[in-house]
Amino acid sequence: MYNGVLVLLFMTAFACRLLSVMVSIHKAEGGSVQDSDYATEKRIKWPWNDPMLISEAFFCVASVFAFNKMLFMFQVFDSPPFRIVKIHTDILLK
């Protein structure tokens, strides 16, 4: 279940990123992609439902989920390869 949610979040982020590229190309039909809103407007003025912003939000949530999965693996699997990595991460986090 957790892996399915994780993959779904990353796929949604990728789909929103593709949608934002298609929207920017559609807006710049007369000119180049650099003339679209992504190149000329500041991010603060983008609409709240812009596909690029939604894509970045999904990617952030998916990255947090992936990091939590990695931490869970370090706690559950205490075999030698994971133990060495766990020692290094414990030293870095202190």
Q: What is the pLDDT of residues 29-87, one digit of tens each?
A: 765 555 556 667 788 888 888 888 899 999 999 999 999 888 777 776 666 666 666 66
Query: How confident is the model over 9-19, as pLDDT tens digits?
Result: 999 999 999 98
CA angle 40, 42, 47 (to 5 degrees): 105
Answer whether 0.75 is exceeded by the pTM: no
